[in-house]
Amino acid sequence: QKEVEQDPGPLSVPEGAIVSLNCTYSNSAFQYFMWYRQYSRKGPELLMYTYSSGNKEDGRFTAQVDKSSKYISLFIRDSQPSDSATYLCAMTDSWGKLQFGAGTQVVVTP
């Protein structure tokens, strides 16, 4: 079993819709949770990070962490064609190991 599971998609939504992404994990040692965005042929860039269970908002983006269920989510409101990219969840344990999910390809159609 992989330590971090993420549906690879693709996920296609019309412009203006809410995009919902999620990951599950099996390692209770993971403490720090992140979402990265990767455009084609580029390295990933950090979107959001959180340490504790609960919600965190940043503009159109909301990250949720439920440590009891080992489940994290990312919501993108009012999606734009420029949001089309691959979104990767990531998490670290106390030893500094940074692990990524498989990434979900998102396509926002005008």
Residues contributing to the site for another protein (CB under 8 A) = 6, 8, 31-32, 34, 41-46, 49, 51, 88, 90, 92-103, 105
CB of 99 to another protein, least distance (A): 6
Instruction: Closer to another protein by CB, 32 or 75: give it.
Output: 32
CB closer to another protein out of 25 and 103 = 103
User: Cβ 61 to another protein, closest distance in Å?
Assistant: 15
Q: Nearest distance from residue 28's CB to another protein, in Å? A: 13
Name the residue among 70, 87, 73 with its Cα closest to residue 25. 70
Tell how strand 98-100 and strand 19-25 pair up: unpaired
To the nearest 10°, the Cα dihedral for 7, 8, 13, 18? 40
**What angle is formed at CA 53 by the lines to CA 48 and CA 58, rounded to 5 degrees?**
30
Query: Which residues does 15 contact at the CB level (< 8 Å), separation at least 6?
Result: 79, 80, 81, 108, 109, 110
Q: Would you say 2 or 77 has its CB closer to another protein?
A: 2
Specify the residue, 96 or 110, whose C-beta has the smaller distance to another protein.
96
